[in-house]
């Protein structure tokens, strides 16, 4: 196998085993768990031999990280809109009707190598990976990692709720500005709802809202609005069919994204305009 990174042990002032010493000596192994996985796969050599967690470290030893064998990945040749890209991460505009990832060929994940440039970062991932997901019928901004350290950092930012997302949704009926906090699968969940406009079309009431999820439960916005009595139009799982709008899919789009770039520390702010099908609905409807 090809050697990816090499480390020569400098002066060691105290006895220490490899499992403690080797954390973070390689750019592409920033955590204890990633180190343990590499050791288990025999991807770390100590003086040319497969290393063990219990090995003692001494001055002058050579520790090498090997490139893992990568199975050739089938690429889905779907053209995507790229909103932003650098060596470490990217943001793409996910179209509706395609899963983010999963045990399928036609996924956004499998289309990323067709659309994004290969990263030149030292810890570049074998292929770009989404760090969160959007439901199959949902369109909008999707954040992608291109390097291992950035993948870890973005996952941490999501866990610490330091990545803000916002969505446009068209819902059935009238609704007021709300904080929705019904638990989902016995876990805390919170969504802030801001009402933008109320409409009436052929005696049906609709509301255009912006949703700000403060937690990241599966189908959170859809479940919260349905429990409120204002299901999202086109939601076949949690909603009800509209007599007027029945062929335009789910009226939910992830249009806002805000976070700090893990490498440059720059504040990244992205905002998509109101999607076309929302604008077409507004032209047909009247404000109430």
* Residue 32: per-residue pLDDT: 86
Strands (E), the chain: 3-8, 44-46, 49-50, 62-66, 81-85, 89-94, 124-130, 139-147, 164-172, 178-180, 191-201, 204-213, 252-260, 267-271, 286-287
Q: Which pTM was predicted?
A: 0.77
Of the candidates 122, 251, 98, which has an alpha carbon nearest to the alpha carbon of residue 112?
A: 98
What is the rounded CA–CA span in Å between residue 7 and residue 9?
6
User: What residues contact residue 107 under an 8 Å CB cut-off, 6+ apart?
Assistant: 76, 98, 99, 100, 101
Q: Which of 55, 123, 135, 153 is catalytic?
A: 135
User: With contact defined as beta carbons under 8 Å apart, do 103 and 7 qualify?
Assistant: no
DSSP 187: B
- Residue 254's SS3 state is strand
* Residue 29: per-residue pLDDT: 85
* Residue 174: per-residue pLDDT: 96
The sign of the torsion formed by the CA atoms of 29, 33, 37, 42 equals positive
For every residue of 107-120, DSSP letters joined together read SHHHHHHHHSPPP-
- Chain segment 9-38, per-residue pLDDT in tens: 999 888 999 999 998 899 888 888 889 989
Segments in the chain below pLDDT 70: 70-71, 241-244, 246, 288
What is the rounded CA–CA span in Å between residue 45 and residue 51?
5
How many of the other CB atoms lie within 10 Å of CB of 99?
18
What is the rounded CA–CA span in Å between residue 207 and residue 229?
12
What is the rounded CA–CA span in Å between residue 9 and residue 60?
5
* Residue 107: per-residue pLDDT: 97
CB environment 50-66: b (16+ within 10 A), e (fewer): ebeeebebeeebebbbb
Q: Known catalytic residue: 135?
A: yes
- Chain segment 24-73, per-residue pLDDT in tens: 899 888 888 889 989 999 999 999 999 999 999 999 999 999 988 766 77
Ordered by where they begin, the domains of the chain are: 3-66 (3.10.290.10), 81-160 (3.30.2350.10), 164-254+277-287 (3.30.2350.10)
CB environment 107-118: b (16+ within 10 A), e (fewer): bbbbbbbebbee
Residue whose entry in the numeric block shows the structure tokens 């992205």? 270
* Residue 88: per-residue pLDDT: 98
């Amino acid at each position: 196998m090809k050697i990816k990174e090499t480390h020569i042990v400098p002066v060691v002032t105290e006895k220490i085993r490899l499992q403690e010493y080797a954390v973070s000596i390689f750019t592409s192994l920033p955590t204890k768990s990633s180190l343990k996985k590499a050791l288990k796969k025999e991807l770390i050599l100590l003086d040319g031999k497969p290393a063990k967690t219990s090995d003692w470290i001494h001055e002058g030893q050579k520790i090498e990280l090997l490139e893992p064998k990568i199975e050739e990945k089938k690429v889905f040749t779907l053209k995507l809109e790229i909103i932003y890209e650098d060596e470490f991460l990217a943001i793409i505009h996910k179209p509706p009707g395609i899963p983010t990832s999963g045990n399928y060929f036609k996924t956004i994940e499998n289309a990323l190598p067709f659309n994004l440039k290969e990263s030149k970062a030292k810890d570049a991932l074998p292929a770009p990976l989404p760090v969160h997901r959007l439901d199959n019928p949902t369109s909008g901004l999707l954040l992608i990692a291109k390097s291992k350290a950035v993948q870890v950092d973005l996952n941490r930012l999501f866990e610490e709720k330091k990545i803000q997302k916002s969505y446009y949704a068209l819902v059935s009926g009238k609704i007021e500005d709300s904080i929705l906090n019904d638990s989902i699968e016995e876990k805390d969940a919170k969504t802030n709802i801001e009402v933008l406009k109320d409409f009436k079309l052929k005696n049906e009431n609709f509301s255009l809202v912006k949703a700000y999820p403060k937690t990241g439960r599966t189908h959170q916005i859809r479940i919260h609005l349905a429990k409120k009595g204002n299901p999202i139009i086109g939601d076949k799982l949690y909603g009800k069919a509209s007599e007027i709008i029945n062929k335009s899919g789910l009226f939910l789009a992830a249009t806002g994204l805000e976070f700090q770039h893990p490498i440059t520390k720059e504040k990244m702010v992205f905002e998509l305009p109101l999607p076309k099908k929302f604008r077409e609905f507004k032209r047909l409807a009247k404000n109430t």
